[in-house]
Amino acid sequence: MSALSERLAGVKAEGRAALIGYLPVGYPSVEGSIRAMVAMVEAGVDAVEVGIPYSDPVLDGPVIQRAAEAALASGTRVADAFVAVEAIVAAGAPAVVMSYYNPILQYGLGRFAADLAAAGGSGAITPDLTPDVGQAWIEAATARGLDHIFLLAPSSTPERLHMTVAASTGFVYATSLMGVTGERSAVGGAAEKLVGRAREAGAQAVCVGLGVSTGKQAAEVAAYADGVIVGSAFVRLLVDATEPRAGIEALKVKVGELAAGVRGQA
Amino acid sequence: MAALDELTDAYEKARVDPAFQEELDRLGRDYSGRPSIITEIPRFARHCGGARVFLKREDLNHTGSHKINNVLGQALLTKRIGKTRVIAETGAGQHGVATATAAALMDLECTVYMGEEDTERQALNVVRMRLLGATVIPVTSGSRTLKDAINEAYRDWVASVDTTNYVFGTTAGPHPFPAMVRDFQRVIGVEARAQMLERGGLPDAIVACVGGGSNAIGIFDAFLDDASVRLVGCEAAGDGVETGRHASAISGGSPGVLHGSQSYVLQDADGQTQASHSISAGLDYPGVGPQHAWLATLGRAEYWAITDAEAMDAFRLLCRTEGIIPAIESAHALAGVIKLGPELGPSATILVNLSGRGDKDVETAARYFEMLPERAP
């Protein structure tokens, strides 16, 4: 069982949902992003999703796109994600990477899995890889004891839903709405329905991503999901910060708000 | 994925439905002007080692390129699945104009994503799309060209899939697009094969330009089993493949995944897509359709890299010798013929897919040949 699965089980035993925070490695710099990720752990996220910036992030909205472009422009490499994973694990939280498929493919599936496992990572989320064409990655990840986490959308057909639930370990990533990453004023009812469908299909843990930015929204989602994934709301604080230290301070406050949310204290 | 599954399902049903094929044939005949003619170009051929050279005149289609063939098919499919809006990406604007045209014809709402850089170099096509009632959205993310327009169209689609169909312009992207677009473009080769046989026999070679690869696969497909027919795809080499400023995915790229299919991609060691460069906005794409990667691997087709300079020389030559202004995309194929002709010798027959006309490229050509004063910055 991965450190991620253990943490999710522990959180469940506390009778609440987990808070999972996403940040892209390399923004505003590799060191700066790692400092921000560690600060998130200290401020109360239960796990961290380390984004690997990609040139063509078709499932990301403008905030994460901008951060990824800046990270790439300043020379961020795939291997920088493993340094971040190591730091997060040392800070006491499980870490997974989130990467589009081509960077993993070019790094080498086996080499990527080996380096991620060696860094102490729990697994990877692959937003543009579906299990039916992802067998090679599933095998590489499984060989290193890594979780392979795939995405569900509200539009997922019953066949795809069953296939995705069956192929995912750690948790299943349920996207709350039809759209790209970014903050929304309301998360809406599609997420709850999707989580229910995933559970009926046998999913042990279902975490919900896309659109959550406030403690109140986190509390709503926490009422039915095993975890709440927050990305753009955190990234935006770093993008909007006048200087990195201020960004990290704002990030800690936001993590606190959302951590209270998943505990039903919003 | 659900949207792609739905589209695949609808397409599988449509392709075996005689009523669908009949309607598509009718539109081809009565709306876009099919079959397109074959024109022999003897004065141009004098510069090609004496080989006989024929053009398949997709430039004479309504809207000025082969793109209309595919778009009419996908727009009909959109009506069949009951959606009311189409979106499209466009590089040079040919696919965007074709989509806007089909949308006007079939009463569909239309939004076209176009890289900001391309809206500048193809300003005339932006106006054409707007005249046809489409909304054109300049894309400012990434490299601000075709690949980023595709990214933006996907982002639109995942949020609008209930009402919207994505009319994809080339034989790249996720399934079913490469297969479906090929099938809608197959008509080019089917017609050309019959037309060449009427003129005395199969050609010795077929030459077509390759960006994503839809016009090339469209003309190649009907000749795949004719082993005597050489198939040559001409990718855009920009300043030259060796300079790194090019758009030749097969000649200068490596295997990778981009936009949902595995093929050749211009990329760095980390799998980050590299910017492509070409004077032709329509070929300025860092990937290539997976069928071309397959044909290259099999050795059934060969892929050459044609520089901006070679393409523009061929562009001018066709204008001056035959009175035909080609699209700069298609001029890459003409440059390929100038190289291939001497190799094949004077007894050879070469068929070129003239995929589009050059009206949209007049300003680019004028600047290239210094026929206009430089625009104020």
Angle (CA) B15-B21-B26 rounded to 5° is 160
Residue B264 pLDDT greater than 70, yes or no: yes
- CATH label of the domain that carries residue A123: 3.20.20.70
Q: Is residue A139 part of a domain?
A: yes
Q: How confident is the model at residue B377 (pLDDT cuts 50, 70, 90)?
A: low
Residue B78 pLDDT greater than 60, yes or no: yes
Tell me the pLDDT tens digit for each residue of A251-262: 999 999 999 999
Give the mutation candidate from B257, B259, B274 for the A interface (greatest A CB count, under 10 A). B257
Q: Is B29 exposed, middle or buried (0-12, 13-18, 19+ CB in 10 A)?
A: exposed
One-letter identity of residue B327: A
Q: Is residue A207 part of a domain?
A: no
Q: Is residue A255 part of a domain?
A: yes
DSSP secondary structure code for residue B52 in this structure:
E
In which residue are the tokens 């032709």 written?
B280
Q: What number is the average pLDDT over the span A156-171?
A: 97
Residues 6 or more apart whose CB falls under 8 angstroms from that of B192 comprise B38, B56, B206, B219, B222, B351, B353
pTM beyond 0.90: yes
Rounded to an integer, what distance in angstroms lies between the CA atom of residue A257 and that of residue A9?
22
* 3-state helix, strand and coil shares in percent for chain A, rounded to the nearest 5: 50, 15, 35
Q: Is B44 exposed, middle or buried (0-12, 13-18, 19+ CB in 10 A)?
A: buried
pLDDT of residue A2: 95
Residue A203 pLDDT greater than 60, yes or no: yes
pLDDT of residue B121: 79
Tell me the pLDDT tens digit for each residue of B126-159: 999 999 999 999 999 888 889 999 999 999 999 9
Tell me the pLDDT tens digit for each residue of B342-374: 999 999 999 999 999 999 999 899 999 999 776
Count CB atoms within 10 A of the CB of residue A123: 27
Q: What number is the average pLDDT over the span A236-246?
A: 95
pLDDT of residue B271: 98
Tell me the pLDDT tens digit for each residue of B284-306: 999 999 999 999 999 999 999 99
Region at B260 (left for phi over 0; alpha for psi -120 to 50; beta for the rest): left
Which positions of B are catalytic? Answer: 67, 89, 355
DSSP secondary structure code for residue B264 in this structure:
E
pLDDT of residue B359: 92
Closest by Cβ to B151, choosing from A56, A107, A160: A56
Whether B60 and B147 have beta carbons less than 8 Å apart is answered as no
Phi, psi of A153, deg, nearest 5: -120, 155
Strands A151-152 and B109-115: unpaired
Tell me the pLDDT tens digit for each residue of B205-254: 999 999 999 999 999 999 999 999 999 999 999 999 999 999 999 999 99
Percent of chain A scored above 90 by pLDDT?
Answer: 92
CA dihedral B352, B356, B359, B364 (to 10 degrees): -80
Q: How confident is the model at residue A245 (pLDDT cuts 50, 70, 90)?
A: very high
Q: Is residue A226 part of a domain?
A: yes
Instruction: Report long-range pairs for B123-129 (Cβ below 8 Å, ≥24 apart).
Output: B123/B363, B124/B93, B124/B359, B124/B360, B124/B363, B125/B90, B125/B92, B125/B93, B125/B94, B125/B96, B125/B97, B125/B360, B126/B93, B128/B93, B128/B97, B128/B100, B129/B90, B129/B93, B129/B96, B129/B97, B129/B100
Residue B151 Cα, gap to closest chain A Cα (Å): 5
Q: Is residue A128 part of a domain?
A: yes
pLDDT of residue A265: 85
**Would you list the DSSP string of B83-137?**
--EEEEEESSSHHHHHHHHHHHHTT-EEEEEEEHHHHHHTHHHHHHHHHTT-EEE
- Per the prediction, chain B carries an average pLDDT of 95
Residue A188 pLDDT greater than 90, yes or no: no
Whether B263 and B287 have beta carbons less than 8 Å apart is answered as yes
Closest by Cβ to A56, choosing from B3, B161, B273: B273
Residue B375 pLDDT greater than 90, yes or no: no
Residue B376 pLDDT greater than 60, yes or no: no
Cis bond leading into B286, ω under 30°? no
Task: Give the H/E segment covering residue B144.
Answer: none
Q: What is the largest CA-CA distance in chain B?
A: 57
Question: Does the beta carbon of B273 lie under 8 angstroms from any beta carbon of chain A?
Answer: yes
Tell me the pLDDT tens digit for each residue of B177-202: 999 999 999 999 999 999 999 999 99
Q: Is residue A163 part of a domain?
A: no
What's the domain count of chain A? Answer: 1
pLDDT of residue A184: 84
Interchain CB distance below 8 Å, B271 and A104: yes
Interchain CB distance below 8 Å, A102 and B1: no
Rounded to an integer, what distance in angstroms lies between the CA atom of residue B38 and that of residue A149?
54
SS3 state at B236: strand
One-letter identity of residue B256: G
Closest by Cβ to B258, choosing from A102, A104, A177: A102
Residue B259 pLDDT greater than 90, yes or no: yes
Comparing B2 with B94, the larger pLDDT belongs to B94
pLDDT of residue B120: 86
Residues of chain B with C-beta less than 8 angstroms from the C-beta of A65: 141
Whether B92 and B118 have beta carbons less than 8 Å apart is answered as yes
Interchain CB distance below 8 Å, B161 and A128: no
Residue A38 Cα, gap to closest chain B Cα (Å): 25
Residue B117 pLDDT greater than 80, yes or no: yes
Q: What number is the average pLDDT over the span A127-142?
A: 97
Q: Is residue A94 part of a domain?
A: yes
**Which tokens go with B305?**
């890299």
Domain that holds residue A130: 17-151+214-262
One-letter identity of residue B38: I
Give chain A's end-to-end CA distance (angstroms, integer). 32
pLDDT of residue B76: 97
Residue B65 pLDDT greater than 70, yes or no: yes
Residue B124 pLDDT greater than 70, yes or no: yes
Q: What number is the average pLDDT over the span A216-237?
A: 96
Q: Is residue A126 part of a domain?
A: yes
Whether B318 and B346 have beta carbons less than 8 Å apart is answered as no
pLDDT of residue B299: 98
Residue A218 Cα, gap to closest chain B Cα (Å): 22
Residue B313 pLDDT greater than 60, yes or no: yes
CA distances from A7 to A98, A197, A255, B71 (A): 18, 23, 18, 51
Length of chain B: 377
- CA dihedral sign, ordered B317, B321, B327, B330: negative
Q: What is the ipTM of this complex?
A: 0.93
Rounded to an integer, what distance in angstroms lies between the CA atom of residue B361 and that of residue B198?
33
Q: What number is the average pLDDT over the span A115-121?
A: 98
CA dihedral B57, B60, B63, B69 (to 10 degrees): -40
Domains of chain B (ranges plus CATH)?
2-30+66-181 (3.40.50.1100), 33-64+186-368 (3.40.50.1100)
SS3 state at A10: helix
Crossing angle between the packed helical segments A244-262 and A232-240, to the nearest 10 degrees: 160
Tell me the pLDDT tens digit for each residue of B330-341: 999 999 999 999
pLDDT of residue A109: 98
Residues of A with CB under 8 A from a CB of B: 54-59, 61-62, 65, 69, 72, 77-78, 101-107, 128, 130, 153, 155-157, 160, 177-180
- Per the prediction, chain A carries an average pLDDT of 96
Residue B1 Cα, gap to closest chain A Cα (Å): 7
